[in-house]
Amino acid sequence: MSSSKTSISLIAQKAGVSNATVSRVINHPELVNKETARTVSFAMNSLGYVPKVSKTRTKEPKKLILIIFPDLSNPFYGEIINGIISSAESHSYHILINQTNFNNDNSLDNYLSLTKSTKACGVILSSSLRPEYYRKIASIIPVVQCSEYNTEALFYVSIDDFKAAYTAMEHIYSKGRKKIALINGPSNFKYAIERFRGYEAFLEYAGLPLQESWNINLPEINYDMAFAASCQLLTSSIPPNAVFAVSDVIAAAVIKAAKLHKIRVPEDLIVVGFDNINISTISDPAITTISQPRFQLGYSAGEILHQQISSAQKEPQRMLLNTELIIRASSSCNNINH
């Protein structure tokens, strides 16, 4: 039987599906429900139909998606990458991981050249982006932002950093601590801005002053930088009795600095971190922290990107996942009013 429109109609009639479904089974079987594909295939076999494309079709090569992070040395990104990989493998994508900080036009141009040379079909971004950079990238390739995002972004997966920071501050204050310092990350990142807002909002709620010398922004999440800043903070003329650190890496550095200067944690100094990465459990004492669903962040970003690529989805998808306060020894002490 020839592969004419009449043949397609006969197959569709016998299988109880539309002509378009039969065409998809012949040309793009990966897009059709497996049970439907089996029904159509049975109808074709019973009618003696052999599609010409079956003799020449070759397996479609895997498509490539780009994953962009600002700092691959930061252990926070490990589980996010695992989540993205899990999603990518389920949809037969290759991934290329790249470290890029979009701090000037050259970095943007280099990235755009990378998307062109690799023929990438989509990108997951965790780097901080100027609004105009985001618009330029999103105009030429499907984009999902993961963890870090622009407020105008149409597709992103993240957490409510303001709420999470406020929760950390509530816990610290519940222990009777009123001299609370914040050691933050780079001020151009959304997470740093929002966690500062949560910190500041709670101070205002509790009637506590914002001590400028207790509000520290590091240029990157780096243990050695955090240790140096912590030593200076803890030996200042007005030292805090609690530190909210926006990363467990920073929190671990605070604890090391406290030990060096004979400051007991948590008796003299409460320390609360963020992320719930491995260092939070192996630190001594173990670190109270805000746990992020890092694998889920990465996996969800991968799924949203796949939906964009496979269906040219235009409806925005903005997802904020829940966080959880994990209380450990670095804040487990009796309430102290000072």
- Per residue in 95-125, pLDDT (tens digit) is 999 888 887 788 888 888 888 898 999 999 9
As a whole number, the mean pLDDT across the chain is 89
151 close to 160: Cβ distance less than 8 angstroms: no
Does residue 61 carry a pLDDT above 70? no
Task: Give dist(CA 130, CA 135) in Å, integer.
Answer: 9
Residues 145 and 167 both lie in one domain: no
Number of domains in the chain: 3
pLDDT over threshold 90, residue 191: yes
- Phi-psi group of 28: left, alpha or beta (phi > 0 → left; psi -120 to 50 → alpha; rest → beta): beta
Share of the chain above pLDDT 70, in %: 91
What is the domain range of residue 186? 161-292+325-331
Two tokens, residue 39 = 């029904």
Residues 186 and 109 in one domain: no
CA distances from 137 to 2, 12, 140, 206, 307 (A): 46, 42, 6, 42, 18
Instruction: Report if residue 82 sits inside a domain.
Output: yes
Residue 11 lies inside a defined structural domain of this protein: yes
Rounded-to-integer distance, Cα 174 and Cα 103, Å: 40
User: What is the spatial distance between Cα 161 and Cα 75, in angstroms, rounded to a whole number?
Assistant: 19
d(CA 326, CA 225): 25
- Residue 102: partners with Cβ closer than 8 Å, 6 or more residues away: 108, 111, 127, 128, 129, 130, 133
d(CA 158, CA 129): 15
Residues 216 and 288 in one domain: yes
**Per-residue pLDDT tens over the stretch 235-280:** 999 999 999 999 999 999 999 999 999 999 999 999 999 999 999 9
Q: Are residues 109 and 185 in the same domain?
A: no
213 and 99 share one domain: no
Same domain, 50 and 114: no
Do 126 and 301 contact (CB within 8 A), yes or no?
A: no
CA dist., res. 226 & res. 234, Å (int): 12
Per the CB < 8 A criterion, the answer to whether 101 and 44 are in contact is: no
Query: Does residue 338 sit within a domain?
Result: no
In a domain, residue 336? The reply is no
270 in any annotated domain? yes
The domain that holds 195 is classified in CATH as 3.40.50.2300
Q: Are residues 139 and 245 in the same domain?
A: no
Note whether 115 and 145 are same-domain residues: yes
Same domain, 67 and 10: no
Average pLDDT over residues 7-33: 75
Same domain, 49 and 118: no
Within a domain: 337: no
Strand partners, 64: 94
CATH code of the domain covering residue 44: 1.10.260
Is the domain of 155 the same as that of 298?
A: yes
Are both 212 and 140 inside the same structural domain? no
Reported as a single tens digit per residue, the pLDDT across 272-331 is 999 999 999 999 999 999 999 999 999 999 999 999 998 866 788 999 999 999 999 999
Q: How far apart are CA 271 and CA 168, in angstroms?
A: 10
